[in-house]
Amino acid sequence: MIPTEPSKEPIFNVHASVVAILAVLVLVHVGRGLLSPDDDLWVVLAGAFIPARYGPLAAELPGGTLAMYTSPITHMLLHGDWVHLALNSAWLLAFGGAIAERTGTIRFFAFFTLCGLAGALAFYLFNADLVQPMIGASGAISGLMGGTLRFLFPAMDSGGFRRLREAPRSVRLMSLAETLTDRRVLVTSAILVVINLLTIVGFGSAQNAAGIAWEAHLGGYIVGIFTYAFFDDVRVSEENRQPIEY
């Protein structure tokens, strides 16, 4: 009898769409490092989401009126420093993989973008006249966290984190009503809200020089919870034939 070698699983099993976003974020940051300080500042201000851009200052700010339409997207590609980028990358790896496996590449990009836009909108609603720029993919990544909660706890109830890592498409998706009444989701959400509100008094302000845009975090997170089911495209496996509820 010929002995067979035990199967080996890769240490890192990251979906290609997550890798693609990470690569873009890193390349943008590296590219900025090749610019002069003045040019880099212009790029940041032109790409950042600035609430005051949607008022009389639109034409005067870097990027002009065009940036009114592009900055809700481009602000996600810019980060304050390598620490800021590393933190967002870590959260993207933590919450992006399972969603990307369930939705596929196109839906994943669409969901990521929607949550990022929601974060920008929330930031604007709380800071309509603010001239300070807001950058980073935190709003979009917070949306991934919200979406993950729709199937995280069902995974824990039926196999634990291993099932979420190895077979995320087999996990039941909670309905919105179930999600909003699940005690574990409510506790997790409350903790997230408290942590973000603490940033108002300076907690965690070392993330980057401009502080933390808690409004964008909560905006992306809420939209992630409420809209994820429209992007979920899982075909339930033999391991779990429970219906997906919307």
Helices (H), 104-198: 105-126, 138-157, 161-166, 176-181, 183-198
The full set of domain ranges for the chain reads: 16-230
Query: Roughly how many angstroms between the first and final C-alpha of the chain, as a whole number?
Result: 51
Average pLDDT (31-58) is: 95
Average pLDDT (110-129) is: 95
Q: How confident is the model at residue 13 (pLDDT cuts 50, 70, 90)?
A: low
Token pair recorded at residue 9: 């699983």
**Mind listing the pLDDT tens digit for each residue in 184-218?**
999 999 999 898 887 776 543 333 344 688 999 99
Which of 1.10.1660.10, 3.60.20.10, 1.20.1540.10, 3.40.605.10 is the CATH number of 16-230? 1.20.1540.10
Q: How confident is the model at residue 243 (pLDDT cuts 50, 70, 90)?
A: very low
Task: Output the pLDDT for position 203.
Answer: 40
Whether 234 has a pLDDT exceeding 90, the answer reads no
Token pair recorded at residue 171: 């996990």
Checking 22-31 for CB contacts under 8 A at 24+ apart, the result is 22/89, 22/92, 22/93, 24/77, 25/77, 25/79, 25/85, 25/88, 25/89, 25/137, 26/85, 26/89, 28/77, 28/78, 29/78, 29/79, 29/82, 29/85
Contact 151, 98 (CB under 8 A): yes
